[in-house]
Structure 1
Amino acid sequence: MPLSSEPLRKLGFLTIGLFDEADPRRGHESTLDIIALGEQLGFDSAWVRHRHLQYGISSPVAVLAAASQRTSRIELGTAVIPLGWENPLRLAEDLATVDVLSGGRLNPGVSVGPPMRYETVKDALYPDTADVEDFGYDRVKRLLDFVRGERAADSAGVQGFEVFSDRVQPQSPGLGKRLWYGGASLRSARWAGENGMNFLTSSVVKAEESEDFAEIQLSHVEEFRAHHPDGERARVSQGLVVIPTDSATAEQREKYLAYAEKRTPRTASPQGPARMMFAQDLVGTSDEIAERLYAHAGFRQVHEVAFALPFTFGHDDYVQILTDIATKLGPALGWRPVG
């Protein structure tokens, strides 16, 4: 196995938080238990996905508010909140509130673009303004400004018995430096860098100058850092699906391999009009996965990761995968658990 020139500094994981429509509490409780387990195993961060009108986490900020009260150390992130569903002013209030409750552990990740399946939901989401809503980078800029303390109202002061602020309250110092942009293109990487955000690069990218996933991801990291005030020190987190099998049962290994095999065809070439490239899921022993990561051009440029848990597995599977990541794969990458 090739040696890393520098140990992995931060190890995180990402979950979609699936639930049964007939028993949604059980699924949400499972997600909270998984986050608590992540803290016990020494992970640096836990991240949740965002799903609307599906059977996954529709309100990640609310879920992370609950997680903040069941944990004390692990960082809590969103990967990512699609801002087309959000009012930046209201979201800034929610993020700041949860950050205060967590003791400054929130890492909000966001993205832009029209909501998924917009034609089917626009009349419910924006009944009066659907055709004039701006889903571009200005929406992120508004959120950044509010979180970083820019004015949200024309005046502040006392009116009768009420005291008003011209800034989002509460203000949470440091939150503005912990905002992440989830980008899949060179343009997004450049914008995130120019605006001083952190950068999330995941298992889905746009094929622009290459059809090699690792090369594409590498180009995004380089573009981001080339335009960020912190240059090479700018934070980038890589998210890939990794499934270590060190302690898996024979039945689990069979299921994991079948899952990856079913998803492999989409990784061979760009998909759809947007020419999206998907990374291969990495299944095998921790030593095998570590070797493949060290050969990955994108991985070699990052110091932190948020490995994604597969969508459709059970709670016991996630426990096994997380335990192997923390006790086998992480150490194989030079990482040391916190605590």
Structure 2
Amino acid sequence: MPTTGRPLRKLGFLTIGLFDGDDPARGHESTLQVIELGERLGFDSAWVRHRHLQYGISSPVAVLAAASQRTRRIELGTAVIPLGWENPLRLAEDLATVDILSGGRLNPGVSVGPPMHWEEVREALYPDTGDAEDFGYRRVERLLDGVRGKPVTDFSGVEGFEVFSDRVQPQSPGLGGRMWYGGGSTRSARWAGEHGMNFLTSSVVRAEDPDGPWDFDEIQLSHIRAFRAAHPDGEAARVSQGLVVVPTDSATPAQRAKYEAYAAKRLARTTSPQGPARLLFAPDLVGTSREIAERLAQNPAFREVDEVAFALPFAFDHEDYVQILTDMATRLGPALGREPTA
């Protein structure tokens, strides 16, 4: 068994929830079945992504509300909700409601920045207020205030037969401590730590040094350490790593070939920063659970965490996800020193 810096405490997975535009119900049902399978296999958490104006989950909170009624134990997370598309007060209400319905299992992850393709969507999204919208960290602070029970208005009391609160309702105890920030830069890592959030680090980081060298693992490690240095809990602050991991132990030859071709097609983007944002991507990990565990044991960022939310690749079939998740839970998890939850 490979030796890692911290024993793996929580094993999770992330799915994008793709669907066919002509039959969206089938894709959403597949996502819910995958989450149910994750619970049966003993995963600690299941996370969903967002895809606005695409053929993926556009309303992760609604999907997790449904998942909360089909599961009993597994934690449910968003990785991540881009707050540029959201009203923080309304989102705080939705998150608290789903957390109540789930029995306190929700782990909302968020990020900031203008909506993707801002110039194309601003007229539909903010036709009257686009120039005034603040897409920075203040938007997260407004969400945190609502979730953590700070007053959001100076009005409260009884008006006729109606009772009004100055806080977001419902209030869900503990949800404020389960808020995550998805960051890929040193600045975002520090900000999340300073504001007492948990930190999601994925297979994408920013190559902030224009001169290099660009080592994904070392950059990610620096973000984890910057986050914990700024967090009140220090080394105990929660960090989850979300690499793309594809175990092949029980895969058919055809599935192995598909997985290897997928990873090979995406490999070129890992060699240098991509686009104006200078994004650097981690290579996908494809192989047997033993091979993947050995590679992760050499990963300095992985050695700093005890929680993971391994990302499922895009555009695979339902049967592929069943095989990948089964191998993750029954073979990769134990190879990393973690046994499935009963």
TM-score by length of 2: 0.98
2:143 aligned counterpart, secondary structure? helix
Structure-2 separation of matches of 1:93 and 1:5: 39
Give the partner amino acid of 2:108.
P
1:329 aligned counterpart, secondary structure? helix
- Give 1:35's aligned residue: 35
- Give 2:261's aligned residue: 258
The residue correspondences of 1:110-189 to structure 2 (distance < 5 A) are: 110-189=110-189
Structure-1 separation of matches of 2:131 and 2:339: 50
Give the partner amino acid of 1:12.
G
1:283 aligned counterpart, secondary structure? strand
Give the partner amino acid of 2:330.
T
Offset of residue 336 of structure 1: 1.6
- Give 2:2's aligned residue: 2
Structure-2 separation of matches of 1:275 and 1:157: 51
Structure-2 separation of matches of 1:140 and 1:156: 24
Structure-2 separation of matches of 1:128 and 1:317: 45
- Give 1:271's aligned residue: 274
- Give 2:103's aligned residue: 103
- Give 2:292's aligned residue: 289
Identity of aligned residues (%): 78
Give the partner amino acid of 1:300.
R
Structure-2 separation of matches of 1:104 and 1:312: 31
Structure-2 separation of matches of 1:70 and 1:255: 31
Structure-2 separation of matches of 1:279 and 1:16: 18
Over residues 23-55 of structure 1, what are the superposed CA-to-partner deviations in whole Å (9 max), with x where a residue is unaligned?
000000000000000000000000000110000
Offset of residue 294 of structure 1: 0.6
Match status 1:237 vs 2:251: no
Structure-1 separation of matches of 2:126 and 2:275: 27
2:110 aligned counterpart, secondary structure? strand
Structure-2 separation of matches of 1:113 and 1:261: 30
Give the partner amino acid of 1:97.
T
Structure-2 separation of matches of 1:24 and 1:258: 27
Match status 1:66 vs 2:69: no
TM-score by length of 1: 0.99
Unaligned runs of 5+ in 2: none
Give the one of 336, 339, 342 matched to 1:336.
339
Unaligned runs of 5+ in 1: none
Structure-2 separation of matches of 1:175 and 1:216: 30
Structure-2 separation of matches of 1:101 and 1:269: 44
Give the partner amino acid of 2:109.
G
Structure-2 separation of matches of 1:37 and 1:98: 20
Offset of residue 155 of structure 1: 2.0
Over residues 85-142 of structure 1, what are the superposed CA-to-partner deviations in whole Å (9 max), with x where a residue is unaligned?
0000000000000000000000000000000001110000000011111100000000
Structure-1 separation of matches of 2:3 and 2:183: 29
- Give 1:225's aligned residue: 228
The residue correspondences of 1:288-307 to structure 2 (distance < 5 A) are: 288-307=291-310
- Give 1:327's aligned residue: 330
1:291 aligned counterpart, secondary structure? helix
Structure-1 separation of matches of 2:168 and 2:131: 28
Offset of residue 6 of structure 1: 3.5
Regions of 4+ moved over 3 Å: none
Structure-2 separation of matches of 1:114 and 1:3: 41
Give the partner amino acid of 2:245.
V
- Give 1:11's aligned residue: 11
Offset of residue 158 of structure 1: 0.5
Give the partner amino acid of 2:271.
A
Q: How many residues align?
A: 339
Offset of residue 3 of structure 1: 1.9
Give the partner amino acid of 1:190.
R
